[in-house]
Amino acid sequence: MIPYFYIIAGPTGIGKSSFSLKLAKQLNGNIINADSMQVYKELRILTARPNKEEEKIIEHHLYGYVYGNERYNVERWCNDASKKIIHCQKNNTIPILVGGTGMYIDKLINGIVNIPTTPEHLKLESENLLQKKGLKNFYNLINEFDSLSLKKINANDTSRLRRIWEVYNNTGKTFSEWNASEPKKFLKKIKYKLILFLPDRKKNYQKVNSRFFSMFDQGVTEEVKELLKLNLNSSLPIMKAHGVPEIKNYLDAKIDKDSCIELGQKVTRNYVKRQHTWWNSSKLQIFKKFNQFPHELDPNSMNFS
Q: Give the pLDDT confidence of 42-64 residue by residue, as tens digits.
A: 999 999 999 999 999 999 999 99
pLDDT in tens, 261-294: 999 999 999 999 999 999 999 999 999 999 999 9
How many whole angstroms separate alpha carbon 146 and alpha carbon 175?
7
For helices 74-90 and 102-110, the axis angle rounded to 10 degrees is 70
Q: How confident is the model at residue 182 (pLDDT cuts 50, 70, 90)?
A: confident
Looking from the CA of 305 toward its CB, the CA atoms found within 13 Å total 2
Quick check: 159 and 237 in contact, CB under 8 A?
A: no
How many whole angstroms separate alpha carbon 272 and alpha carbon 173?
33
